[in-house]
Chains A and B, each alone.
Chain A
């Protein structure tokens, strides 16, 4: 699976959009981009995934660049409960293989 690079931490004001970047310059054509998050002392929570098109669901939007070498997870109206570690994972096997979790981005939502 391709390696990803994420900032270690980010701050965002409550009510604003949180934009979390992820670089995956070695991604191959059949690899998906998945995002999970882990709120303190809970299990990881699936957020969204995509192959090349932008995706949106009730939690977030995923924007993937045309060359697929980077992506951005957007939480449109961040709340304090969105404070968590966010993991960007690129995987050929899809979500159902042994996912490799890096260190992720610690997103802190400020009141």
Chain B
């Protein structure tokens, strides 16, 4: 039973390039969450999606960042025109339903380095 799969595991981009991070949730999970962890800091919530819908993007920076979770395929976190401050670990989590008894299952993250 595969867990949450994130790829790539490591991603290096030059300033100004685009970064695309992919997340395949656990089988049967229709809720996806993205978190960012800056070096030596805690995890910060970015966005919560269900299939084809963004439910809560209150943690997303207003510019350059976008997320989608299409009907088919993985969830994508897209960062346009990356800057050095975007260097961080990006974690995806999934759950089957929304509710009090529904823990999140996390992937092992994508480590983005902007040079």
| A interface residues with partner B (beta carbon < 8 Å) | 30, 32, 34, 38, 42-46, 49, 51, 92-104
Contact = CB atoms under 8 A, between A and B. Distances in A.
A98 B58 CA distance: 9
A49 B98 contact: no
Q: Chain A contact residues: over half helix, strand or loop, or mixed?
A: loop
A96 B42 contact: no
Given A44-B106, A46-B103, A103-B42, A96 B56 contact: no
Interface residues on B, range: 20 to 34
A94 B101 contact: yes
A43 B107 contact: yes
B108 A95 contact: no
B45 A99 contact: yes
A43 B108 contact: yes
21 contacts: A30-B100, A32-B100, A34-B103, A43-B4, A43-B106, A46-B103, A46-B104, A46-B105, A49-B101, A93-B98, A94-B98, A94-B100, A94-B102, A95-B95, A95-B101, A95-B103, A96-B95, A97-B48, A98-B48, A99-B45, A99-B104
